[in-house]
Amino acid sequence: MKHSLILVLVTSITVSLTGCSYNFGSSGTKAAEASEETDEAQAAQATGQAATPSNTPQYVFRYGEVNGENNIVTQTGHKFAEYVDELSNGRIKIEIYPNHELGDERTSLRDLRRGGRNIDMYRGNTNALTGYGFKKLSLFGLPYIFENREGLWKVLDDQELGQAFLSEGTQVGANMVGLFYTDEGARNIFSTKRIRNLKDIKGMKMRVPESVLMMDTFSALQARPIPLPYGDVFEAIKNGVVEGGENPVTAYLSNELYEIAPYYLMSEHVFSPGIVLMAEEKWNELSDEDKNILIEAGRRASAWNRSAIQEEEARIYEELEQKGVTITKLSPEDMEKARNLEEIVRISFTPGLEDYLARIIDIQK
């Protein structure tokens, strides 16, 4: 597959580190939070200034990404690497491996859980975490729980939810440390034949990520979900194995899926964020100062992503129309019907987490 250029948007991560793990505050005034964030940024900067420049980095971490160079989430990874290099004064290097060079999502997450034998960091999607021990973070991958981008970031910025959830991987024994979130947009449906409404989706063979949550999401829409690795999507559509799939518009363009599936339905069925994870074993090798550097670099990369995504999406939709893609927005009536159909999925994936789900909904009001 070929790839085009995009950019992404990101969030602000305020973290207080202790020992080999970190805890997130759940109270305090805005002024105190701002002061704490400033202190951490200054600490990270001071660490970099104190470091002695060297042609040989002390640490080199491999960062995996399934999208190509021209995707905004890949570019966010490069921004993260730049900030890490700057803050560490070259002592820490992040090598970005795009286009699933280090493995697909399932392979990469398994490797992180085993200690990072082939990969040290990976930018995954929260809707893919259900099979790796994550519970709370998986809530972000549920269908139709975010009203829009503003609602998404309200939740991710919240100290008791978005920020606190970053540490879940160490708490549940998944052996992964969350560094920061990314936003590549709502996930929509694309197809080889025209799709205008939910009726057109019924019975269609749709590629979905290798995730039980995403399979159930499309089953609820009465489609036929077929889980496939991301790298197989283009050929699977080309050879008729599936009739379409689902992706944020950023990935749809950068992977040139419009060439073989030129119909794009803005269903916005999932607005799950990406999350950059690091193997806990590698994280524990770092000093508190170096952990601060990664967190601060992630905060900056996330902010860059967040500032760019909306304008980039608008540009992409215009480009797709020029390329002849038929873009249709799901009607308000069908959108409401889809939300109702997905209620069973939200219920089945939230036993014991009902209070968190209620909080996610409440924050967006």
The per-residue pLDDT for range 199-237, each reduced to its tens digit, is: 999 999 999 999 999 999 999 999 999 999 988 999 999
239 Cβ contact list (under 8 Å, min separation 6):
none
The whole-number pLDDT of residue 54 equals 52
Average pLDDT over residues 63-80: 96
130 band by pLDDT with thresholds 50, 70 and 90: confident
Q: Answer whether residue 29 shows pLDDT above 60.
A: no
Distance CA 192, CA 198 (A): 16
The whole-number pLDDT of residue 207 equals 97
Over residues 140-195, the pLDDT tens digits come to: 999 999 999 999 999 999 998 999 999 999 999 999 999 999 999 999 999 999 99
With contact defined as beta carbons under 8 Å apart, do 323 and 27 qualify? no
What does pLDDT average to over the chain? 88
39 band by pLDDT with thresholds 50, 70 and 90: low
Strands of the sheet with 9-10, listed across from one edge = 9-10, 176-183, 274-279, 121-125, 59-64, 92-97
Q: What is the distance between the terminal CA atoms of the chain, rounded to a whole angstrom?
A: 41
44 band by pLDDT with thresholds 50, 70 and 90: low
Q: Answer whether residue 47 shows pLDDT above 70.
A: no
Shortest CA distance to 137 belongs to which of 128, 146, 126? 126
Residue 134 C-beta-side C-alpha neighbours within 13 Å: 31
- Name the E strands within the chain: 9-10, 16-18, 21-23, 59-64, 92-97, 121-125, 176-183, 187-191, 205-208, 224-227, 244-248, 263-270, 274-279, 326-329
Q: Answer whether residue 240 shows pLDDT above 90.
A: yes
pLDDT above 70 coverage of the chain, percent: 85
**What predicted TM-score, i.e. pTM, was given to this entire model?**
0.83
Work out whether strand 244-248 and strand 187-191 pair parallel, antiparallel, or are unpaired: antiparallel
Distances (CA, A) of 294 to 25, 181, 297: 19, 13, 5
Question: What is the three-class DSSP state of 296?
Answer: helix
In the numeric block, the tokens 């002695």 are attached to 52
Residue 71 C-beta-side C-alpha neighbours within 13 Å: 30
Q: Answer whether residue 49 shows pLDDT above 70.
A: no
In the numeric block, the tokens 């008791």 are attached to 160
Q: Answer whether residue 360 shows pLDDT above 60.
A: yes
Of the listed ranges 13-27, 101-115, 343-357, the one predicted with least confidence: 13-27
Over residues 299-329, the pLDDT tens digits come to: 999 999 999 999 999 999 999 999 999 999 9
